[in-house]
Structure 1
Amino acid sequence: MTTARDIMTGGAECIGAQETVLDAARKLTQLGVGALPICGTDERLKGMLTDRDIVVKVLGADKDPATVKAGDLAQGEAVTIGADDSADEVFATMTSHKVRRLPVIDGHTLVGVVALADAARALSDPKAGQLVEALSTD
């Protein structure tokens, strides 16, 4: 059985909830990624921060990225998947929650992220198409 651990991109780095959005933007640029998990001081996942969040919720709202905290942009409980959950469960979770990036946890520890491309590569062709279609519609 293929698991989330098998298809995830490991070594995901967090942005601390108390770090600024400007720090997050710099980290996104440095890592060449479009999203970062937001972790609290307890190292638990608080949410995901995307480059779009920064543009729409901070810059577009005339807020100062040097003063807005990354944790201020975390919305509700983070949608995650267990490292040993099946690829089918990854598919179902991404589809039902309409998320393009799914943090992978082992216990309470972030161990990686499954991106839409990771999931699509791991699924059969029909399921990959269904996933892309589900995440591309409102």
Structure 2
Amino acid sequence: MAQHVRDIMTSDPVTVEPQTSVAQVARIMRDEDLGAVLVTDGDELRGLVTDRDLVVRSLCEGGDPEQTTVAGACSDDLVTVTPDEDLDHAVELMREHSVRRIPVVDHGHPVGIVSLGDLAMERDPESALGDISAARPNT
């Protein structure tokens, strides 16, 4: 069983700049089969945006998705972990902050994302969430 975040995190996360349009981020998510991307300013983590964020914080507001930037749709009050932290700590943070994904940072720079699905596949692969998380995309 993996003991550290680095053992199960998704490495080399997809990142976008804050001025990237919501439409472009949606296309990236579709093309890369992602549910979340990190928002960075240069090499500094500024936020995380999920497919749900795009809908709830942006599209439903009625703006032009080609003109609306991801800066207003992303979560910027982030909880982060380092690659060397224990998985138990990541689980505690997810519970405490009611989040499904946590950016992984090393010396302030984003290096990965750990998700609830990653944890389920590692800790309980026979669970419904572990089974769904391990399944191939149905796109």
TM-score calculated relative to the size of structure 1: 0.83
Deviation of 1:77 after TM superposition, in Å, equals 2.5
Point out where structure 1 has 5 or more consecutive residues left out of the alignment.
130-138
Q: Where in structure 1 do 4 or more consecutive aligned residues deviate above 3 Å? A: none
RMSD: 1.9
Report the Cα distance in structure 1 between the residues aligned to 2:117 and 2:75, rounded to whole angstroms: 23
Structure 1 residue 19 and structure 2 residue 33: aligned?
no
Deviation of 1:86 after TM superposition, in Å, equals 0.3
Trace 1:20-99 onto structure 2 (pairs within 5 A): 20-41=21-42, 43-99=43-99
Tell me the equivalent position of 1:8: 9
Point out where structure 2 has 5 or more consecutive residues left out of the alignment.
129-139
SS of 1:82's equivalent in the other structure is coil
Trace 1:92-131 onto structure 2 (pairs within 5 A): 92-123=92-123
TM-score calculated relative to the size of structure 2: 0.82
Identify the range of structure 1 (74-83 vs 59-68) with the bigger mean alpha-carbon deviation.
74-83
Tell me the equivalent position of 1:133: none
Report the Cα distance in structure 2 between the residues aligned to 1:107 and 1:77, rounded to whole angstroms: 18
Report the Cα distance in structure 2 between the residues aligned to 1:75 and 1:51, rounded to whole angstroms: 12
The count of residues paired between Structure 1 and Structure 2 equals 126
The 8 Å contact of residues 17 and 40 in structure 1, kept in 2 or not, is answered as: yes
Report the Cα distance in structure 2 between the residues aligned to 1:86 and 1:21, rounded to whole angstroms: 34
Deviation of 1:124 after TM superposition, in Å, equals 6.1
